Amino acid sequence: MRTLRDFGLALASGLLAAFAFPKFNISFLAWIALIPLLFVISRSKPGRAFALGLTAGLSFYGLLLYWIPNVPAHYGGLSLGFSLAATFGLVLLLAFFWGLFGLALSRVSSLWPAAGFVLAPFIWVAQEYALTHILTGFPWGLMGYSQSSNLWLIQASALTGVYGVSAVLVFFQGSFVYSLTRRKRTPFFIGLGVLAAFHVGGALSLGPTNPGPGAFRAAVIQGNVSSDFFQGQVPASEILKQFEHHMNLTRKAADEGAELIVWPEFSVPLCFSCEDPLSRELTDRLLSYARRSGRTLVVGTVEVARLGERIDHFNAVLALQPDQPWTEYHKMHLVPFGEYTPYPSVFGFVERMTQAVGEFTPGAAPVVHDFRDMNFGSPICYEIIFPSLVRQFVRNGAHFLATVTNDGWYGATSAPHQHFGIAVFRAVENRRYLLRAATTGVSGIIDPWGRVVSKSEIMTAAHLTGIVTPSSRRTFYSRFGDVFALFCLTMALVFFILSFFLGRHDRQGKKSRQRIY
Euclidean distance between CA atoms 308 and 399, whole angstroms: 38
Q: Which of 381, 383, 429, 488 is catalytic?
A: 381
Euclidean distance between CA atoms 70 and 78, whole angstroms: 10
Neighbouring C-beta atoms of residue 150, cutoff 10 Å: 19
Residue 260, strand partner residues: 218, 296
Euclidean distance between CA atoms 288 and 301, whole angstroms: 17
Q: Which of 265, 328, 339, 429 is catalytic?
A: 265
Phi, then psi, of 318 in degrees rounded to 5: -115, 140
**Nearby residues of 258 by Cβ (< 8 Å), 6 or more positions away:** 217, 218, 219, 295, 465
175-to-112, 121, 506 alpha-carbon distances in Å: 14, 10, 27
Q: Where are the extended beta strands (E) located within 406-468?
A: 434-438, 444-446, 452-455, 462-468
Q: Report which DSSP code applies to 186.
A: H
Euclidean distance between CA atoms 137 and 124, whole angstroms: 16
Euclidean distance between CA atoms 22 and 93, whole angstroms: 22
From 372, 454, 358, select the one nearest 406 (Cα to Cα): 358
Are 447 and 173 in contact by the 8 Å Cβ rule? The answer is no
Residue 299, strand partner residues: 318
Residue 438, strand partner residues: 405
From 405, 485, 499, select the one nearest 105 (Cα to Cα): 499
From 18, 202, 45, 53, select the one nearest 123 (Cα to Cα): 53
Euclidean distance between CA atoms 510 and 275, whole angstroms: 79
73-to-53, 57, 70, 79, 87 alpha-carbon distances in Å: 30, 24, 5, 6, 11
Q: How big is the chain by its Cα radius of gyration, in Å?
A: 25
Is 265 annotated as catalytic? yes
Q: What is the dihedral of CA 439, 441, 445, 448, to 10 degrees?
A: -110
Euclidean distance between CA atoms 416 and 265, whole angstroms: 14
Largest CA distance in the chain: 95
Angle among Cα 356, 360, 364 to the nearest 5 degrees reads 160
Is 241 annotated as catalytic? no
Cα 264 to its chain centre, rounded Å, is 18
Enzyme catalytic residues: 265, 331, 381
